[in-house]
Amino acid sequence: MILHPPSPEPGSNPPVGAKVDTLPRPLPARIAHKGHQVDLEPLHARHAAELWQAAQSDASGASWTYLGYGPFADASAMRGFLGGFVAAHDRYAWAVRPHRTGTADGWLTLMEVHPGDAAIELGNIWFSPRMQRSRAATEAMYLLMRHAMEDLGYRRLTWKCNALNEPSIRAAQRLGFTYEGTLRNVLVTKGRSRSTAWFSILADEWPAAGARIAAWLDDTNFGPDGVAKRRLGA
């Protein structure tokens, strides 16, 4: 049984989905995005040295646990990975440069891009520990979410993560994504079984979700110590 069945086209029998704008959406462009706390730069192998230094803040390697790659043995290995990662045609990747540090401290992508269906995913996110749970991290994700939904006009933005990845699940909920379900034992990652939790934001949900994130990011929500006065999310 589907818990939340979609609304059919009124009067259709048998029921069919509502008609939509079928114009394919544009592909993301590999361009920079500038925010108040962070800049996003098209990811390139030249970012490897800075990213390697950022990775040294993770002595345990925990930030790589749920990704299909990493940690890397040395800067050369990271550079080699990045060369292939950014050359792939199925994703658009950005390095994240927080203004506070001035260095590339992580990356994130728009991926699983389906222009004809107007569906796109925010994923492949790696933030070094010194960037995790920061205002810059939230703004980095917000910049690409806004780009996908407002600039490019996609009608569905998804977020997928390992179903055991509680920090990622909490992040999806904070950002306004709706949980859709879990695909059980759908992948094998680093030799381990992975179930994948799915979340989404739809076009008619984005204005409210985007406004909540923008209000949380606003300077008025932060005290002199840089701590947010209120939490993001419901």
**pLDDT of 150 over the 90 cut:** yes
Mean predicted confidence (pLDDT) in 102-107: 98
Domains and CATH numbers, the chain: 33-221 (3.40.630.30)
Contact present, 40 and 95 (Cβ < 8 Å): yes
How does pLDDT run across 196-228, given as a tens digit for each residue?
999 999 999 999 999 999 999 999 999 999 899
**pLDDT of 2 over the 80 cut:** no
pTM for this entry: 0.95
Contact present, 193 and 163 (Cβ < 8 Å): no
**pLDDT of 41 over the 70 cut:** yes
pLDDT value, residue 32: 98
Radius of gyration of the CA atoms of the chain, in A: 19
Question: For a pLDDT cut of 70, what percent of the chain falls above it?
Answer: 98
How does pLDDT run across 51-64, given as a tens digit for each residue?
999 999 999 999 99
Whole-number average pLDDT of the chain: 95
**pLDDT of 232 over the 60 cut:** yes
How does pLDDT run across 71-93, given as a tens digit for each residue?
999 999 999 999 999 999 999 99
**pLDDT of 1 over the 60 cut:** no
Mean predicted confidence (pLDDT) in 11-24: 90
pLDDT value, residue 182: 97
pLDDT band at 13 (very low <50, low <70, confident <90, very high): confident
pLDDT value, residue 79: 96
pLDDT value, residue 8: 86
Say if residue 92 is exposed, middle or buried (CB neighbours under 10 Å; 0-12, 13-18, 19+): buried
pLDDT band at 234 (very low <50, low <70, confident <90, very high): low
Mean predicted confidence (pLDDT) in 17-46: 96
Mean predicted confidence (pLDDT) in 185-201: 98
